[in-house]
Structure 1
């Protein structure tokens, strides 16, 4: 696929669940949110570029990576640090991509439930099952190169939905007579917000899979830059205006905060479609790694259908067990997403550049580059620990987690 399609995948995969949680994250951290969001965006962009350069190094040095590869990120880890690192990367990938897919499924189910609630009522647990089963046949598609229309649709639906949301938010802002009351920032609130910001730019786990399907892989750097600029164009207006308008009254999902009406209904429907397409894109890398482990052919067949159907059932089960998507979002942002999006890319790049062989072109990393890369790693580690601790503390609070939906089908996601 070309650079334009790759941009669609990068922006389409990242936008969605995170954008709806940003106004609430801004309320938790106050105006500290702006430098935190900017830092996460810049660092994640640099890391995305570095993981792309890592793959180019693999192709340059080892001929076995010059064709199609179904496990590019674990392969980078293996060639940098050995088989043990491949195992670490694989574990992080499975946790991140299956976790992100669960978040997407829950949010999609929540939005569909809101859309149809004026017509008829179904328990939230049933919506999770319905949406999950509807996604199952689309899971049988192959690599990103076969699903570029899904990427285009994911970004287009999000962009239109954001415009519709902002129209309502601006109207509410103009009706304000006084400033909206806001939450006083605390260390816990800032930590939880940081987890959300990390998640918003944490799609690096799938980047090597996207790059591997490109015709000219050297153009991946520009794809990342343009993709992240597009993300900021969507994120900043929604986050700032939502925070200024609703303050501490904004919910985990801003859609639940804006007034009812045609625009809200249309935005819900569009975002539901976005999440539907994003689910297919996000989980693809995880199932490709499973198929590679099981030596399943890279072509449509009954083995692929079974593996991907079971994977979908697994995501449905996780969603039915933990129906509050906001709690998962914060925990994931501080744990496996941090590893894949911020810590491992600069670590792998510096390691690969330090390796020497007479037949390899020499690659040097300047002192200033190393300082900045280590800064990304250190901030990622510290932020990840703080976010994980705060998220776990939030999860174990009384009443924070509802009963699983298979115990109570009327389970709550709020």
Structure 2
């Protein structure tokens, strides 16, 4: 979910129409990690608490393997379309985005539906940012007598900052803070694991290995949220100088990320057991190292939040510019800028309102992972593959596509029910 936002600056100038990728396999490996790993990982120990450490591990492995295979389906669709256009016209077609594949499969409706899901996914990640910041800042002042709820921090501190940052329209101007955010993420994970091992004598492998079948979809939804960098697949592959190596680079990245996710989830849950919070940093004591991690993460996310919102801003402004009444504003450059800025502020307020109404970080990211991420990661790739490549692949591959579609829809339906049920929202 955070992935698209953080990867965008690294891919500037790559994957554009007519452009040739120039990144090495090592650079692409780094870009994939940046695209996928985000703050969602801090909710994994809670998912393991709800599902059990064994069921949680299986959920993460299943999400990782499935996401990897479906990302390859997108690349195969793009390669097939480009090769066919090269044979037919002598000029290679450029498929630049997930929306382009949606348009090839279902026309204009397919493009709009695909881009809408990507937008909802981005918005879900943005809401998760605000929830994370609000809850962590509120926890820092929990010992005071002031009623400083997460909503107060969201509206009185974070929202004004984000309104000011929304005036920065250049994505490249915000790129340097991406590295800072990644550093804070790594530091946070390292300190959390260190705290976990300090409680090593309390570890018990008998602690809830499997909490029943209902826990697995919940953990899978959280894991899907953590793996969500799906809309960057085609841009990442196009950015490589040697695109044939992409599947192997992607495989290495997924193996490493999956192992890290599993270890982080297991250690966090085994350290705190049934006391594991939906954001693992909330379990940390208020000593200097934990406070520095919480503050550092909040600052980093506050400054990378505009990057997460950037695709939303762009699409809304594009739609505004195409409306009849907005055409009049285009006669005045200042009025047009004010119109765009007003739209950005309204979107920020809407996202802040949603974030303030969410009862729990863990339930929310599982809901987003079970709905939007399941459709983006499973259903659409397999559907596109059937429509665009299905006539030229073997029967077992088409059967696998149908299975992925059925699994994705079933997972989305049950995962949504599970995340919205009373026992989840009250957690």
Structure 1 partner of 2:111: 86
Structure 2 partner of 1:99: 124
The answer to whether 1:170 aligns with 2:197 is yes
Please report how far the alpha carbon of residue 9 of structure 1 lies from its aligned counterpart in structure 2 after TM superposition: 5.0
Q: For 2:199, what is the secondary structure of its paired residue?
A: helix
The answer to whether 1:320 aligns with 2:356 is yes
Would the aligned equivalents of 1:159 and 1:234 in 2 still touch at CA under 8 Å?
A: no
TM-score scaled by length of structure 1: 0.79
The answer to whether 1:342 aligns with 2:378 is yes
Gaps of 5+ in 1: 356-363, 402-413
The answer to whether 1:12 aligns with 2:34 is yes
The answer to whether 1:307 aligns with 2:329 is no
Alignment partners' CA distance in 2, 1:207 and 1:277: 24
> Equivalent of 1:113, from 114, 124, 138?
138
Alignment partners' CA distance in 2, 1:251 and 1:205: 30
Count of residues in Structure 1 that have an aligned counterpart in Structure 2: 384
Q: Could you say if the C-alpha distance between residues 120 and 381 of structure 1 is closer, same or farther in structure 2, counting changes exceeding 3 Å? A: same
Structure 1 partner of 2:47: 25
Alignment partners' CA distance in 1, 2:154 and 2:242: 37
Structure 2 partner of 1:359: none
Alignment partners' CA distance in 2, 1:350 and 1:147: 39
Would the aligned equivalents of 2:385 and 2:401 in 1 still touch at CA under 8 Å?
A: no
Structure 2 partner of 1:34: 57
Would the aligned equivalents of 2:55 and 2:215 in 1 still touch at CA under 8 Å?
A: no
Q: Could you say if the C-alpha distance between residues 37 and 318 of structure 1 is closer, same or farther in structure 2, counting changes exceeding 3 Å? A: same
> Equivalent of 2:263, from 198, 212, 237?
237
Q: For 1:294, what is the secondary structure of its paired residue?
A: helix
User: Deviations along 1:239-265, whole A, 9 cap, x unmatched?
Assistant: 111122222221211112233322221
Structure 2 partner of 1:158: 185
The answer to whether 1:48 aligns with 2:74 is no
Q: For 2:284, what is the secondary structure of its paired residue?
A: coil
Q: Could you say if the C-alpha distance between residues 37 and 215 of structure 1 is closer, same or farther in structure 2, counting changes exceeding 3 Å? A: closer
Would the aligned equivalents of 2:193 and 2:264 in 1 still touch at CA under 8 Å?
A: yes
Structure 2 partner of 1:264: 290
Paired residues for 1:140-151 under 5 Å: 147-151=174-178
Please report how far the alpha carbon of residue 113 of structure 1 lies from its aligned counterpart in structure 2 after TM superposition: 2.7
CA RMSD of aligned residues (A): 3.5
> Equivalent of 1:285, from 311, 323, 334?
311
